[in-house]
Amino acid sequence: MTDAELLAELAGMLDRIDPVPATVRTAAMLAGTFVGARWDWLELSPLAGVAVRGEARMWRCGAGVIEIADRVRGLLTIPVTRAELHSAAGVVAVAVDSVGAFSVRVPTGRMRLVLHRAGEVPLVTGWFR
């Protein structure tokens, strides 16, 4: 038996005895999408002292403003072809209207925003909450 065959047999046994939870598999697949990806970082800065309702938090970046409350809402100042919200739950497509406004359900845990632009590498925020 070769090392590869032994490892394959052990992996099969572990899958039967203690399968990987779906949420862990989804998070691993999400992390794998970034291997070798090219993007430009989009730095987020918290906006302290901004009048917001309840537990809402405000962030600003070179591409616009983001509010996190019961939903993730924002207004982008740059044109995008596609926007995504990444979290441990997976990737959610974010609809951006003609003036750059968007709103999407808040995922659990930390998240990041990915903005795809025509003919350029995507802009990606760091993980935030």
Q: For 56-95, write each residue's pLDDT tens digit.
A: 788 888 899 998 888 999 999 999 999 999 988 888 999 9
pLDDT of residue 53 exceeding 70? no
pLDDT score, position 90: 86
Domain ranges in the chain? 1-36, 39-125
Distance CA 128, CA 44 (A): 8
Q: CATH says 39-125 is which class? A: mainly beta
pLDDT for 57: 83
pLDDT at residue 96 greater than cutoff 70:
yes
> Percent of the chain beyond pLDDT 70?
85
